[in-house]
Structure 1
């Protein structure tokens, strides 16, 4: 993974993926690269050797998107090194579990800072760059199936994603005059290391998985590729008339 890249294909679009060094972010970055985009990924820590190998010549930008000045700096670095910015994927986030009555206020601030405030700030910074370019763009926010569902112990997490869902609609309307489309992808429970670790902690992992699948009409977990495919569509020219919407990639969970 390169520390810097000079613009080497003026016609190639540039995508920026936050939280792009792990989980869904890596798969999304790989898919956008496969679709012909030059890709920059943002992470707090340097990517692992495995991620570097997977993403090849992607640009890595170290940064903490929760810091007030970082969104503008990150976008500036990407545009300076890659020449432009056409797609932003707000993927950085964290899951949070805990009873409402046990959540300290400091924890609420931390979760909202990463899951809601940071993508809003990144959207604003990216929009400013896209407006200067005058060529429009696409912004995709990562939500969750829980953005519209109430689940005990996940209320704070749900609230952050619900806030981002509302922001997505407002931003889509506000930025439409600049031909900047703002959409979202709402993944269901996916086959990731996080879920694998959760299953391993259960007394009966097989029973826990069976119970989970019983709530999903398509009877399987999502894969990172399923989610990356939805992001790739919203980032593509084929979605040029799609804005202010959210694609549920949850196997029918929220359609019940």
Structure 2
């Protein structure tokens, strides 16, 4: 088997690839030689670039199944094929479960659970028609296995995404591999204010690796899962969280 992290000639679609973690995922695949399409609702001022190439942009609201299908169709028209899909788009502001509106809950579930399926379904159809198949990677969250206050709808949706990954792996393997990444605390510009005035130093102390993840940690895991090195992995969850967090009882008694 030709084991390589050279993605030359491969086509990659990254949802939510115009900022934050998705931007770095797209940049990392570009640097590895891939041709990349990113999507978002609005075109950004700057697109990811690497390896002498720049990602192409398609505007799409993937919460709509029809728009998701058109996204995949357009990506294939631009790149000629589709080897890797990274379902990265997602997120949610904190909300009070006692008062949050049904519309808010529906939109969070739409974005974090239904949209990945809406994109994966047509991507699977394309990948199955290719001799080399394809790889789908769903970006989840530690909230899906360890919910925090204010994340009820988001945590439920992310828990569903992990189960969706495993279910699709059963149905779509061996031609298409579907894997999941559980992300922990990640330092991004948009999240900096959430980690305190010390820039997250205190938060890092409760993580065994003594630092929060950076987007490149998630991007490198995506590169591995999409590569030939992971050719026997499907239905797998890789936790990119630095070992998780020390139990509260340990933190309290240690101090």
User: Once structures 1 and 2 are overlaid, which stretch shifts more, 12-21 or 186-195?
Assistant: 186-195
RMSD value over aligned CA atoms? 1.8
Q: Which runs of 5+ in 1 are unaligned?
A: 1-10
The question of 1:15 aligning with 2:12 is answered yes
Residue number in structure 2 paired with 1:71: 68
- Is contact 2:27-2:48 (8 Å) kept? no
2:134 to 125, 134, 137: 137
SS in 2 for 1:225: helix
| Cα contact 1:145–1:254 (8 A) shared by 2 | no
TM-score by length of 2: 0.88
The secondary structure found in structure 1 opposite 2:208 is: coil
1:211 Cα shift?
4.0
Matched, 1:47 2:44: yes
Match of 1:143, SS state, is: strand
Match of 2:101 among 101, 104, 121: 104
C-alpha distance after superposition, 1:67-119 (max 9, x if no partner): 12011111111111211001000001122311210111110000001110000
Q: In structure 2, how many angstroms separate the alpha carbons of the residues matched to 1:62 and 1:150?
A: 31
The whole-number CA distance in structure 2 between the counterparts of 1:181 and 1:68 is 22
Provide, for residues 155-188 of structure 1, a one-character-per-residue CA deviation record: whole Å limited to 9, x for no partner: 22111110000000000110014x1000011111
SS of equivalent to 1:133: coil
The one of 221, 228, 231 aligned to 2:222: 231
User: Which stretch of the first structure deviates more once superposed, 157-166 or 143-152?
Assistant: 143-152
CA contact (8 A) 1:75 1:126 kept: yes
2:237 pairs with 1:246: yes
Q: Any idea what the Cα deviations from partners look like across 1:21-53, whole Å, max 9, x if unmatched?
A: 01111100011111111111111111213x356
Q: Contact 1:96–1:111 at 8 Å: present in 2 too?
A: no
2:191 aligned counterpart, secondary structure: helix
Equivalent position SS for 1:135: coil
Q: Distance in 2 between matches of 1:107 and 1:214?
A: 34
Report the count of equivalent residues: 239
1:96 and 1:156 in contact (8 A); partners too: no
1:186 to 174, 182, 185: 182
Q: Residues 18 and 255 from structure 1, CA distance in 2 versus in 1: closer, same or farther, beyond 3 angstroms?
A: farther
Contact 2:30–2:49 under 8 Å retained in 1:
no
More helix by share: 1
2:79 corresponds to 1:82: yes
CA distance in 2, matches of 1:255, 1:182: 30
- In structure 2, stretches of 5+ residues that fail to align are 1-7, 248-255
Q: Distance in 1 between matches of 2:66 and 2:24?
A: 27
Displacement of 1:56 in angstroms is 4.1
Query: Taking structure 1 as the reference length, what is the TM-score of the superposition?
Result: 0.88
